[in-house]
Structures are given as C-alpha cells and as structure tokens.
C-alpha cells in the first residue's frame, strides 16, 4: 500500500460515502492519480463504488466508501499502534478477484498461499 492508497483510505476511514470530487478536494493530489488509485482499491475489494441516481437528467452520481469487512485491516495499516493483524489465507482469499470457489482464474489451478499470484511477485 503506497502513499496515495493510504491517503484515500484515511479520507474514507469514517465509513461515510463520498463523491469523487469530495475525495479529490481532501486528498490534494491530481485527478488522474486519484482515479487510478481508487480504481485499484475498488478492484482489491477495499473500497466499494456505489451509484446514486441524480434528481433530473444526467449520469448517476458515484460514491465511494470503505468496505465493512476491510475496515479493521485498514485501520491496522493506517494506525500502527493497533498492533499486528493476522488474517488466514482463506479469509484473505475472499477479497481476491481472481479466485472463484477455491480455483484461481489466473494460474488455472487451486488457490493456495504458495501459488497465489497476489503474493508471488
């Protein structure tokens, strides 16, 4: 997790949904950087993107909020005083977008801690 991810997660830490523009005004970095890192956090399952309909014509309004399941893990990363958090591989694999029923779509085999492409880099 890099500086930008931590900044976004710190802004969303309270659990309130925020629009892209609200996050942008609080974050203080460029539009493209925020878009890239928000998309990655959504892909990783740490942040949820929700659609809200507007009153009147126009595109729906997108809001972002931190995933409830990820709140404790994120709090531990953002606040080191909380201590070390141990998460089993089975619990962690629920957030993997490549895993489906214990089968990894990327390696086309059963997902294990040894063969997981998330860990092997």
DSSP string, 56-99: SSSPPEEEEEE-TTTHHHHHHHH-GGG------HHHHHTT-SSE
Structure tokens at 18: 């925020």
50 Ramachandran zone, left/alpha/beta (phi>0; psi -120 to 50): beta
CB 47 within 8 A of CB 8: yes
Domain 3-82: CATH class, spelled out: mainly alpha
| Measured distance CA(13)–CA(26) in Å, rounded | 13
Tell me what pLDDT residue 2 has. 78
The dihedral built from the CA positions of residue 118, 3, 11 and 34, taken in this order, carries a sign that is negative
Tell me what pLDDT residue 74 has. 66
* pLDDT one digit per residue (tens) for the chain, 121 residues: 678 888 888 888 888 899 999 999 998 889 999 999 999 998 888 899 999 888 888 888 899 998 876 666 666 566 655 555 555 656 665 566 666 666 676 767 766 666 666 655 4
| Torsion on CA atoms 73, 36, 42, 29, rounded to nearest 10 | 50
Tell me what pLDDT residue 14 has. 83
- What is the location of CATH 1.10.10.10 in the chain? 3-82
């Amino acid at each position: 997790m890099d500086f930008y991810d931590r900044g976004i997660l710190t802004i969303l830490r309270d659990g309130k949904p925020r629009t892209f523009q609200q996050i942008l005004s609080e974050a203080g970095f460029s539009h493209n950087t925020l878009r890239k890192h928000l998309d990655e956090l959504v892909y990783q399952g740490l942040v949820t993107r929700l659609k809200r309909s507007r009153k009147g014509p126009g595109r729906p309004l997108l809001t972002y909020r931190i995933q409830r399941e990820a709140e404790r893990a994120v709090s531990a990363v953002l606040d080191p005083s909380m201590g070390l958090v141990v998460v089993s591989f089975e619990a962690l694999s629920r957030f993997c977008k490549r895993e489906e029923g214990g089968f990894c779509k990327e390696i086309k085999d059963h997902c294990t801690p040894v063969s997981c492409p998330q860990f092997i880099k």
